[in-house]
Amino acid sequence: IAFWVLTQYLLINVNVLALAICTRESYQSMKERNVDDGHIININSMAGHKVMANADEHFYGATKYAVTALTEGLRQELREAKTHIRATCISPGIVETEFAFRHHNSDPEKAAAVYESIKVSSIQKHMQNYSVNKKC
């Protein structure tokens, strides 16, 4: 259970807290330099818009839902401040990478099952990194 708690702690630190800190610093930098037409882009995931069927991925999805909420909240704050700075999150679909293999390092078969349970695009590998810009 200690490994599970550490993994969740790291997911929150990277996917939520680091994003919030970087966003704050980016906005402050823009204000200090009188930039009124900047664009803050957060990298999200489709897991931040739909709960995945795989129970092992629910906590990851929760952190990505937080990215969706933080980006939308920022967008609303920027509009209220009457600034032209924009906030967007990009939500790529599933791409077969080392992510699941690292996430399930104690069980490579379980890692492979992550991709088997989700339809991975059958297009060539070099094309799998294509993502669609989705405003949150």
For the segment 15-73, what is each residue's pLDDT rounded down to a tens digit?
Answer: 999 999 999 999 999 999 999 999 999 999 888 888 877 666 788 889 999 999 999 99
Residue 60 annotated as catalytic: yes
Write down the pLDDT at residue 15.
93
Sheet strand arrangement including 39-43: 39-43, 86-90, 133-134
pTM above 0.75, yes or no: no
**Given 9, 27, 60, 115, the catalytic residue:** 60
- At 14, the pLDDT band (50, 70, 90 cuts) reads very high
**In the predicted model, is pLDDT for residue 106 greater than 70?**
no
Write down the pLDDT at residue 97.
74
- At 118, the pLDDT band (50, 70, 90 cuts) reads low
Instruction: Provide the 8-state DSSP code for 128.
Output: T
Write down the pLDDT at residue 113.
74
- At 74, the pLDDT band (50, 70, 90 cuts) reads very high
Domain that holds residue 63: 2-134
Using an 8 Å Cβ cutoff, are 41 and 90 in contact?
A: yes
Give the pLDDT mean for 77-103: 85
Write down the pLDDT at residue 8.
87
Say if residue 12 is exposed, middle or buried (CB neighbours under 10 Å; 0-12, 13-18, 19+). middle
Rounded-to-integer distance, Cα 95 and Cα 72, Å: 25
Q: Which two tokens stand for residue 53?
A: 């069927």
**In the predicted model, is pLDDT for residue 134 greater than 60?**
no
- The CATH code of the domain that includes 37 is 3.40.50.720
Using an 8 Å Cβ cutoff, are 93 and 46 in contact?
A: yes
How many structural domains is the chain composed of? 1
To the nearest whole number, what is the mean pLDDT of the chain?
81
